[in-house]
Structure 1
Amino acid sequence: MEKMAKITLSNTRSISTLLSDLRSLFKAPVLIANVLPVLSGFWLAIYFTNASFMDHLNLFLLTIVGSTIVMAGALVINNWYDVDIDTIMERTKKRPTVTGHFSLNAVLTMGIVLTVLGFIVLLFTTMEATIYAFIGWFTYVVLYTMWSKRRYSLNTVIGSISGAVTPLIGWTAVTSGFHIVPIILFLIIFIWQMPHTFAIAMKKYEEYKAAKVAMLPVVHGFAMTKRQVFVYVACLLPLPFYLGMLGTTFIVIATILNIGWIVLCISGFFMKDDMKWAQMIFLYSVNYLTIFFLLVIIVTLPPFQ
């Protein structure tokens, strides 16, 4: 009985370790954060074309599944390519590519297979959605991970394109992307990623410096980074007004979110503890994106009968 108990415990730990490794390999929080704008883009396209969601349920599932698999493939390939950096940085030392739980060949194969499968699924939606997914994948894997991340402090700007196309994937699965709504959603995510990523780079300054990753705080210092954060957040202020068709409630809440972020940015010029400020900016940015994209869905929900 004791031996069986030990085997059971060992199996439980093995499953737990595998799930933890997969979560790390797929960067689960990042993956989920990128799926939400796809969902929001799809939902808004249904809303603005006066279509029925239930009539497009199969299309919705294909869009979400396909885009999620493509993004997972990109994140896995990023893990494969960045193994040397992950070995140095404290927060990434437990990734399976570093611990050796998964071989690098297996990780690369997984990333390629997931990417191909994801694009095959998306081809059953629309060509435009597939093209936007490819733009996101190519920008993240090639232009960001393999080319600019280690060389240029503009890597964040380049990498932000990949996250910003996510609502366009959802929208164009239903209708053409030549519409003010998906364009503004693209701009919001594109701009949002700069202060969000800069805050992370400040928090992990020593790790990025040791790994020789050309993040803005490492190359140009905290003072420059704080000014950049303020400028990018200020650029968000007018954007909700271009989505006036979503109603007054949306504009008011979105504007309050933006003003709150601006105030927090200004406080950074007076705070002596840069790390505390960076943590505040990071937490605000995470909640900002979640609230914003849940809000665009909530304000367009049909009224209860």
Structure 2
Amino acid sequence: MDKVETTSSPIIDKQAVTKKKTATFIADLKALTKVGIVNSNLITTFAGFWLAVYFTNASFIANWDIFLLTMAGTALVVSGGCIMNNWYDADIDPVMSRTKKRPTVTGSISLNRALAMGVFSTSLGLVLLMLTTLEAALIAFAGWFTYVVLYTMWSKRKYTLNTAIGSFSGAVPPVIGWAAVDPGLHITAFILFLIMFIWQTPHFLALAMKKTEEYKAASIPMLPAVHGFEITKRQIVVYIACLLPLPFFMASLGTTFIIIATLLNVGWLALGMSGFFTKNDLKWANRIFIYSLNYLTILFLMMVLVTLELPFS
């Protein structure tokens, strides 16, 4: 009896190849847009939006369309900035272990395509934010310009102050969220900016300590790579200490918030000062880095929780 030929195997193989290509593209897109950074920025954007609604006695439900535009626009602008960062740093990323597998390094996404994606994502994001308020779009552009031009293209490879310059861009998302509701802003919006601006330096300096040898190899003048760990540890402690008074400028959020925020600040400062007595600087830096992540999550979650009486009608 003759064998019956079947085409099921080629079809299955073709489907498998398609699925693999799709999965690879999604993974490359996540790496290119730095999805972790985008998500963290959206958390602070949401907090800024939420608090603006609260302080202006507005309705969250009545502003749901503005909320979606704000979150989508911010995500696209941040993604655009991250893509541009990957595009520009394609020459030094191969040197560092945490960046050497980026699609702009492996070639899975060409530099020309990455550039086009970065420009498109940024432009679309700014258009969406302009549908909320002009101020929100302008603030977002200022953050993007600082990150792409002043940080990535100018200061990152020249000055140890690159961390402080880059911190401006990471501090604007909560202000974007606020400005989308209240273009006139409020002192709380500026305190949110200061919290994010100050928080980033100890966070990223701790990371730089962990990756010092890689930064040296890539000729990136991060503070620990240029001036050593002792000066870096002093800078980390100084910046953490600058956070101490800020919760008191947000007294309208209530005593519970002030107490928890102060405890978080004091705990972080104590951990920072322990670095002067440690024998393992890298282990200490890792603790500072992990604490900073938990600090930010808890602090901004508390801002939302203590204002849950926000009217939804």
Structure 2 residue 74 is the aligned partner of structure 1 residue 67: yes
* Partner Cα distance (1:299, 1:145) in 2: 37
* Matched pairs, number: 305
Normalised by the length of structure 2, the TM-score is 0.94
Q: Which amino acid aligns with 1:219?
A: V
C-alpha displacement of 1:9 = 3.4
Structure 1: runs of 5 or more not aligned: none
* Partner Cα distance (1:4, 1:88) in 2: 41
Structure 2: runs of 5 or more not aligned: 1-7
Q: Which amino acid aligns with 2:196?
A: I
Question: Aligned residue for 1:32?
Answer: 39
Question: Aligned residue for 2:119?
Answer: 112
Structure 2 residue 162 is the aligned partner of structure 1 residue 121: no
Q: Which amino acid aligns with 1:98?
A: V
Structure 2 residue 305 is the aligned partner of structure 1 residue 280: no
Q: Which amino acid aligns with 1:41?
A: G
**Contact residue 49 and residue 178 of structure 2 kept, 8 A:** yes
Question: Aligned residue for 2:216?
Answer: 209
Question: Aligned residue for 1:49?
Answer: 56
Structure 2 residue 216 is the aligned partner of structure 1 residue 172: no
Identity across matched positions, percent: 57
Question: Aligned residue for 1:290?
Answer: 297
Partner residue of 1:190 out of 194, 197, 200: 197
Partner residue of 2:155 out of 134, 144, 148: 148
**Contact residue 168 and residue 177 of structure 1 kept, 8 A:** no
C-alpha displacement of 1:37 = 1.0
Structure 2 residue 252 is the aligned partner of structure 1 residue 230: no
* Partner Cα distance (2:170, 2:17) in 1: 39
Normalised by the length of structure 1, the TM-score is 0.97
SS at match of 2:157: coil
* Partner Cα distance (1:8, 1:286) in 2: 40
**Contact residue 210 and residue 285 of structure 2 kept, 8 A:** yes
Structure 2 residue 179 is the aligned partner of structure 1 residue 158: no
CA RMSD of aligned residues (A): 1.5
Mean alpha-carbon deviation: is it higher for 14-23 or for 113-122? Answer: 14-23
* Partner Cα distance (1:133, 1:304) in 2: 28
Provide Cα deviations, 1:42-98, integer angstroms capped at 9, x if missing partner.
100100011111111111111111111111111100000001111111111110000
**Contact residue 133 and residue 183 of structure 2 kept, 8 A:** no
SS at match of 2:38: helix
SS at match of 1:94: coil
Q: Which amino acid aligns with 2:226?
A: V
Q: Which amino acid aligns with 1:74?
A: G
Provide Cα deviations, 1:131-172, integer angstroms capped at 9, x if missing partner.
110110100000000000000000011000001111110111
C-alpha displacement of 1:194 = 0.2
* Partner Cα distance (1:278, 1:64) in 2: 32
C-alpha displacement of 1:3 = 4.3
SS at match of 2:196: helix
Question: Aligned residue for 1:245?
Answer: 252
* Partner Cα distance (1:80, 1:177) in 2: 35
* Partner Cα distance (2:61, 2:137) in 1: 22
Provide Cα deviations, 1:14-42, integer angstroms capped at 9, x if missing partner.
22221111111010111111111111101
Question: Aligned residue for 1:85?
Answer: 92
Provide Cα deviations, 1:75-126, integer angstroms capped at 9, x if missing partner.
1000000011111111111100000000000000000011111111111111
